Amino acid sequence: MSSCADSHVNFHVLTLFPEMVSQGLSASVTGRAFEKGIISLETINIRDYTLSKHKKVDDYPYGGGAGMLMQAQPVYDAFRATVDRINESGGDGEKAKVIYVTPQGRCFRQDMAKEFAGERDLIFLCGHYEGIDERVLEEVVTDYVSIGDYVLTGGELPAMVMIDAISRLVPKVLSNEASAEFETFHDNLLEYPQYSRPAVWHEREVPEVLRSGDHEKVRLWRRKQAMLRTLQRRPDMFREEDFMGSKPDRRLLAEVQEEFRAWRASMEEESPL
């Protein structure tokens, strides 16, 4: 794991479509971070490691079934070559996390992104077709991770989603360090509502407290709104015990619960069974 002084993260993506990954991450926040050398990206074409003279990397699955399966040999050889390069660069390739993106894995969350952001090297394995030979997965994968309960054509898009989320938590990647800490999912809360100019738009006004200049009132308003929004939109994330540690939080919790009950009652009136 990287130390605070060594916060550089190297992403290594094993894929059949390296251009898709490199081009998709070359813009915006990640692109700028690559240019500055804060993070790095290596895409490894699994096809380059096949022993087939026709560059074949897939075959029919034993036992029958629809579709083709990626073979173990090219995946493993691509992985070993990546480990060797990590070792040559001063890292420990044998201990690098190998993340296989699959709907069968643990659901990717912000706390997982924070954990991965502390690693020096992360290897992503992107499947395609009907998946990858189970034997090589058993041999190399350390983490099975999903971005949701649905099926995509390949693992490239999920890998890019995770790399983007992880990169934001690497020091110096974001120009405003506070934005990584206090945006959505901080303290297991969704982000509070935000507003910009003008103060009135389509007869909708920016809340007066945000224009008051009172920083403490603004802080409390934002926390309360984050709590209420989480309870309304992601009740699975909301835990009352998280707000029992301080008197201000307990008071906010009581206010939020009252407003939530009123909100739920109004929703039931608008949508009667």
Strands (E), 130-235: 143-146, 200-201, 204-205
- Which pairing describes strands 200-201 and 204-205: parallel, antiparallel, or unpaired? antiparallel
Please give the structure tokens belonging to residue 77: 């050889």
Q: What is the pLDDT of residue 178?
A: 47
**Half-sphere CA count of 47, side-chain side, radius 13 A:** 9
Contact 45, 15 (CB under 8 A): yes
Q: What is the band of 130 on the pLDDT scale with cuts at 50, 70, 90?
A: confident
d(CA 189, CA 166): 18
Backbone angles phi, psi at 123, to 5 degrees: -105, 120
- Lowest-pLDDT range, 27-41, 176-190, 244-258? 176-190
Q: In the structure, what pLDDT confidence band is assigned to residue 270 with cuts at 50, 70 and 90?
A: confident
Degrees, nearest 5: CA angle 199-205-209: 85
How do beta strands 121-125 and 9-15 pair? parallel
**Residues 236/205, Cβ–Cβ less than 8 Å:** no
The predicted model gives 89-111 an average pLDDT of: 95
Q: Quick check: helix, strand or coil at residue 59?
A: strand
Query: What does the pLDDT look like over 248-260, one tens digit per residue?
Result: 999 999 999 999 9
- How far is CA 156 from each of CA 46, 55, 148, 150, 219, rounded to the nearest angstrom? 13, 20, 14, 14, 39
DSSP classification of residue 197: S
Residue pair 33/173 in contact (Cβ under 8 Å)? The answer is yes
Shortest CA distance to 127 belongs to which of 149, 104, 108, 155? 155
In the block, which residue shows the tokens 């998709």?
A: 24
Asked if 145 and 106 touch (Cβ cutoff 8 Å), the reply is: yes
pTM for this prediction: 0.84
Residue 259's alpha-carbon distances to 128, 195, 254, 256, in angstroms, are 47, 21, 9, 5
When pLDDT is averaged across residues 212-229 and rounded to a whole number, the result is 96
**In the predicted model, what is the mean pLDDT of the chain?**
91
pLDDT at residue number 57 = 96
Tell whether omega for the bond before 171 is within 30 degrees of 0, i.e. cis: no
Helix (H) or strand (E) holding 31: helix 28-36
Rg (CA), the chain: 23
As a whole number, mean pLDDT of residues 136-163 equals 96
- In Å, the largest CA–CA distance within the chain is 71
What pLDDT score was predicted for residue 5?
Answer: 42
